[in-house]
Amino acid sequence: MASNEAVWPVISQLIGWGYFAAWSLSFYPQLVLNWRRRSVEGLSLDFLALNLWGFLCYSIYNIGLYMNRDKWGLDNSVQLNDVVFAIHACFLTALTAFQSVIYHRSEGQKVSMPSTSFIAITASTAFVAGFLAFKGTIPASYALYYLSYIKMAITLIKYVPQAYLNFKRQSTVGWSIDNILLDLTGGVLSMMQSLIDASVSGDWSDITKNPVKFGLGLTSMSFDGLFIVQHYVLYRNRVREYGGPNERDEVGPLLSAPEEA
């Protein structure tokens, strides 16, 4: 019995690093695809802006909980791989956002007013919560959990603009399917780790103490399924050319050199 109790935490750690690897790698195909095409056409800038703000919140949330996990009784809830993943994801999303500035965009391709307003409002309220926590008016954990709820809200809505853009163009060109396949793998592993940790501790409130991680996996997998259907079923024979000769689907060597404009 004791040996089993010692094995499961190790399995949890391995699964945790597994989803860290899958989710971390999932950010690279879009970066490479944008670089190959020298264009971000087909990539929703609403999705990109929301994703960047969401991972910034998620990074602060995980760092805060990890640093205070003993004090707040969150030993099994937030692990080192959660922190590393969040920071890594935020950095790579920022790089993708930089690509959207330097690479070709279609006419009128920009972040919409609803997304801009959402980011501005949630950033303002997060700042207020952080200030109140700093002054001791509210517990610091309240401010951190508020950031996690922002991340959850973003996860629920961020894929909608991309799914609609694919529908509008009747194509997934410019949106990396490799990103989606890796994201799906990471989501499955993340949920497995949460369930194992709760089972080992005998306290299923571990999931409720860190709902953002479990919710992220479930919601992401649902949208991943939608994008897989769009790419392989609905629009598989409807590849369109947008933006001239540099437009290309995810075919050929992943790291082939970009074409000259």
Residues 6+ apart with CB under 8 A from 259: 36, 38, 245, 246, 248
Residue 260 in any domain: the answer is no
Top-confidence residue, 113 or 188: 113
Burial of residue 224, with CB atoms counted within 10 A of its CB: 0-12 exposed, 13-18 middle, 19 or more buried: buried
pLDDT, tens only, 97-140? 999 999 999 988 999 999 999 999 999 999 999 999 999 899 88
d(CA 247, CA 10): 45
Residue 249 lies in a domain: no
In a domain, 94, yes or no: yes
What is the domain count for the chain? 1
Mean pLDDT over 243-254 rounds to 47
- In this prediction, residue 79 carries a pLDDT of 77
In the predicted structure, residue 241 carries a pLDDT above the cut 60: no
pLDDT digits (tens, 9 = 90+) for 189-200: 888 887 887 777
pLDDT for residue 147:
95
> Which residue, among 148, 225, 150, has the nearest Cα to 188 in the 3D structure?
225
Residue 57 to residue 177: CA distance in whole angstroms: 25
Task: Give the residue, 1 or 177, on which the prediction is more confident.
Answer: 177
Is residue 255 in a domain? no
**256 lies in some domain:** no
What ranges in the chain are assigned the alpha helix state H?
2-25, 28-37, 45-67, 80-102, 113-135, 140-157, 159-169, 177-201, 205-209, 211-229
* Summary mean pLDDT of the chain: 84
Residue 61 lies in a domain: yes
Domain of residue 163 covers 7-240
In a domain, 250, yes or no: no
What pLDDT score was predicted for residue 129? 95
Would residue 254 count as lying in a domain? Answer: no
